[in-house]
Chain A
Amino acid sequence: MSDASLNSASTTQPGEAGFGDFFALLKPRVMTLVVFTALVGLLAAPVAVHPVVGLAAILFIAVGGGASGALNMWWESDIDAIMKRTAGRPIPTGRVARDEAFAFGVTLAVFSVVMLWLATNALAAGLLAFTIFFYVVIYTIGLKRWTPQNIVIGGAAGAFPPMIGWAAATGTISIESVLMFALIFLWTPPHFWALALFMRGDYDKAGVPMLTVTHGRRATRVHILAYTVILSVMAVGAAFTQIGGPVYLAVALVFNALFLRDAVAIWRRDEGQAEADDYRVEKRAFRLSLWYLFAHFTAILCEAALRGLGMAGWT
Chain B
Amino acid sequence: MSFREEHELHKRRFGRNLGLGLVLAGFVALVFGLTIAKVANENFALPQTTQQKGD
* Chain A interfacial positions (CB closer than 8 Å to B): 10-11, 13, 16-20, 22-23, 47, 50-53, 55-56, 59, 118-121, 170-171
B1-30 CB contact bits vs A (8 Å, 1 = yes)? 000000011001101101110000000001
Q: Do B30 and A16 have beta carbons less than 8 Å apart? A: no
What DSSP secondary structure best describes chain B's contact surface? helix
B29-55 CB contact bits vs A (8 Å, 1 = yes)? 010011011100100101110000000
Q: Which of B8, B18, B19, B36 contacts A52 (CB 8 A)?
A: B36
A-B pairs under 8 A by CB, number: 50
Known contacts A16-B13, A56-B30; A47 and B37 CB within 8 A of each other? no
> What 10 pairs across the A-B complex have the smallest Cβ distances?
A19-B19, A171-B46, A52-B33, A52-B37, A18-B12, A50-B37, A19-B16, A121-B46, A19-B15, A18-B15
Q: Do A53 and B19 have beta carbons less than 8 Å apart? A: no
Q: Do A19 and B34 have beta carbons less than 8 Å apart? A: no
Pick the most buried of B18, B36, B46, B47: most chain A CB atoms within 10 A of its CB.
B46
Q: Which residues of A contact B37 (CB under 8 A)?
A: 50-53
CA distance A47 to B52 in the complex (A): 13
CA distance A22 to B34 in the complex (A): 26
Q: Which of A17, A18, A171 contacts B48 (CB 8 A)?
A: A171
CA distance A13 to B10 in the complex (A): 13
Known contacts A52-B34, A55-B30, A59-B30; A18 and B47 CB within 8 A of each other? no
Name 12 interchain pairs, CB-CB below 8 A, sorted by A. Answer: A10-B9, A11-B9, A13-B9, A16-B9, A50-B37, A51-B37, A53-B37, A56-B30, A59-B30, A170-B47, A171-B46, A171-B48
Q: Which residues of B contact A120 (CB under 8 A)?
A: 46
Q: Do B16 and A119 have beta carbons less than 8 Å apart? A: no
Pick the most buried of A16, A17, A120: most chain B CB atoms within 10 A of its CB.
A16
CA distance A19 to B14 in the complex (A): 9
Q: Which residue of B lies closest to A50 (CB)?
A: B37
Q: Which residue of A lies closest to B29 (CB)?
A: A52
